[in-house]
Structure 1
Amino acid sequence: MVQACIQCGTCSGSCPNTFAMDHTPRKLWRMVLGDQAQSVLASKTFILCSSCYTCTLRCPRGLPLTEAMARLVQLARKANPLLFKKSHAFYDAFLQSVKNHGRVNEAGFMTHYFFTMKDPLLPLKFTPLGVKLMRKGKVAMPAFNFGLGRGSRPRGKMAAIFEKIRQMEQHP
């Protein structure tokens, strides 16, 4: 797929996150084509991709660059799981909350994340943010249900979405 890239630079010029990347998307694709796997997987470029699809929409060759970035994230996670431990745990806790409740249940989501990380000091690091969000009414106090009672269980379309995701992750 990336072999069809003509190195025009449209992806780099279109990307809203290029300023924070260590390599522009154009340079990353050149590295992929140049068989520089170690350098590619060590890059932060694909991690900073926000999946806005601007590069994919503007690419003159119609290359699915956003999907390629997502695939690089999967490959990097497999190559170096310790590097992605925190983000992977956060991602899993978030999805588990949506899967169980049909929406994000903040208290349950963060509790799941804290237990997964096995760091007793981690909740203390998030306390100032949690208090600030509760004061603004952005996060509800979990009361005595430990954050498990809010929201509804996903049915129908939501369950189908999660099944499709599971299939896509098994066969990328």
Structure 2
Amino acid sequence: MNGAVRETWSPASEADQLVLKELRETVGACMQCGTCTASCPNWHAMDITPRAMWRMIQFGMLDKILESKTFWMCSACYMCTLRCPRGLKLTSAMAALKRLAGIADGPHARRNLAFYRAFMDDVEVHGRVQETSMMQRYFLKARDPMLPLSYLPLGVRMLGKGKVHMPGKGRGDVLRPLFAKAREMEGLS
């Protein structure tokens, strides 16, 4: 690859530029050892491996990264961060990519962000995922009237096997302070 790499996506505000700069600095020292990918419990569900994604960030290929589902699959288990021989804060880099995807507002990002927020909101309210309420949240956040229809066959199969349960009493009172602190640390509150 030659020295001039064209970045096709650029954040609009100064705050967004700062997030991008911080992201590049975070993964800039990556030596491509692959320990992050080998440590990730979700690597098999990702369309780009974490190792490849760090290289893509270094080369400014954010448009391709933001179209992927890789960073949305991160469960923030911190295994990549704990095992990185360079001590890079890779879990923080994944969180920064989620924030950038929310800013980019492309069709892939919008749907993935809606699912991520619905999932996290449901965990905050119920203390765990309750599929029925989580999917209702997802459909409302996605703002796509045809989306529920695409899940209809799966819903019918799950209902037939007794896998769909109506939401019960939430345990949000226990987790609400934890989520509030996480939002504060991420600068979202």
Q: Same fold (TM over 0.5)?
A: yes
Q: In structure 2, what is the Cα distance between the partners aligned to 1:42 and 1:90?
A: 15
**Of the candidates 85, 88, 91, which is equivalent to residue 66 of structure 1?**
91
CA deviation after TM superposition for structure 1 residue 95, in Å: 3.0
| Equivalent position amino acid for 1:164 in 2 | K
1:132 pairs with one of 157, 172, 186: 157
User: Structure 2: which amino acid aligns with 1:21?
Assistant: D
Query: Per the alignment, in what secondary structure is the counterpart of residue 151 of structure 2?
Result: helix
Query: Offset of 1:86 from its aligned partner?
Result: 1.5
Aligned to 1:30: 55
| Segment of structure 1 superposing worse, 83-92 or 1-10 | 1-10
- Where 2:145 maps in the other structure, the secondary structure is coil
Tell me what 1:161 maps to. 178
Greater displacement, 47-56 / 130-139: 47-56
Shift of 1:105: 3.6
Matched with 1:21 is 47
Normalised by the length of structure 1, the TM-score is: 0.70
- Is contact 2:39–2:79 with CA below 8 Å preserved after alignment? yes
Residue of structure 2 equivalent to 1:55: 80
> In the aligned structure 2, how far is the partner of 1:19 from the partner of 1:122?
22
Alpha carbons of structure 1 residues 10 and 93: separation in structure 2 relative to 1, 3 Å: closer
What is the percent sequence identity of the aligned residues?
47
Q: Looking at CA atoms only, which structure, 1 or 2, has the larger radius of gyration?
A: 1
Q: For structure 2, list consecutive stretches of 5 or more residues without a partner in the other structure.
A: 1-25
- Work out the number of aligned pairs and report it: 163
2:169 is matched with 151
Query: Quick check: 2:80–2:91 contact (8 Å CA) kept in 1?
Result: yes
Structure 1 pair 14/84, CA: closer, same or farther in 2 (3 Å)? same
Aligned AA (1:77): G
Mark the runs of 5 or more structure 1 residues left unpaired by the alignment. Answer: none
For 1:105-144, list aligned pairs within 5 A.
105-140=130-165, 142=166
Deviation at 1:163, TM superposition (A): 0.7
Taking the aligned partners of 1:12 and 1:100, their CA distance within structure 2 comes to: 31
1:86 aligns with 2:111: yes
Normalised by the size of structure 2, how large is the TM-score? 0.65
Q: What amino acid sits opposite 1:121 in the alignment?
A: M
RMSD: 3.2
Q: Which moved more, 1:157-166 or 1:53-62?
A: 53-62
**1:39/1:100 CA distance change after superposition, 3 Å:** closer
CA 1:3–1:97 in 2, change beyond 3 Å: closer, same or farther? closer
1:96 and 2:114 correspond? no
Give the CA deviation at 1:160. 0.7
